[in-house]
Amino acid sequence: MKGNKLMGNKKRAFTLAEVFSVHPKGGRKQAFTLAEVFSVHPKGGRKQAFTLAEVFSVHPKGGRNQAFTLAEVLITLGIIGVVAAMTLPTLIQKHQKNTVATKLEKFYSTINQAVRMAEIEYGDAASWTVNELPRYVIPHLNATKIEELHDVHDTINVYFVGGGAVTFSNYSGLDIVYYINGQIGDTKNATRNKFAFQFKKNSGLKYQNNNFIEPWVAHLDIFDGTIESLTKGTYACAKNSVNPAYCTKWIQMSGWKIPDNYPW
């Protein structure tokens, strides 16, 4: 090969496949690397690099092969852009769901571990009152800030390192609400951010695990151990609900994953 002449002195453009193809090193023809394709060689030399114009230029159709035209390249890029626009939102939502589920499972594990650590000092958690549990457990949580509101519900707010916050309140039993975004009281997109737990000992809960802190499923006449029952009632896990307390249990029953039919 000399210059840009190929096969019987007929000039044609190189396809992308030819430019970047792999040939045996011992063969007569060897593919060009990116450096070789766009490098600079003396014009008088035997070998000369191809310019972008030459790589993507248009040659008569009578040639053996034909390079991509600018229009073809732009159309291809346009198609790639449309596909990306269609799939990107789905990928982002999947990532967000995974992030929420991971943080929720971590909180569940962390607070129950804190209970077990507090038991070493204060004895079996089954003997604790709803007001004692927060005071025994909070010192074992990695908190950056603790707020005692001294209200009728004995509310205590705890903020965590790395984001996230939890509030402990006594509403005829200990309610524990974990906020993924760390903004206590925020009801916007509650099914993604606000997750309810409770002190199992004081609730007589069925269909639960052996931990003391479990997803909130009060109103036992509604929850029958099925996910379907979690979509009903005042605290149903439903889109646009400001207090979808049953959502935590739904995610737990799904293996700490957020399923496709979850009201995201």
Angle at 248 between CA 246 and CA 253, to 5 degrees: 100
Summarised one tens digit per residue, pLDDT across range 46-81 is 455 555 555 555 455 555 456 788 888 889 888 888
Q: Is residue 139 predicted with pLDDT exceeding 80?
A: yes
Give the Cβ contact number of residue 216 at 10 Å: 22
Give residues with Cβ within 8 angstroms of 198, minimum separation 6.
173, 174, 175, 176, 205, 213, 214, 215, 216, 218
Token representation of residue 98: 């995974």
pLDDT tens by residue, 147-203: 999 999 999 999 998 899 999 999 877 899 999 999 999 988 999 999 999 887 555
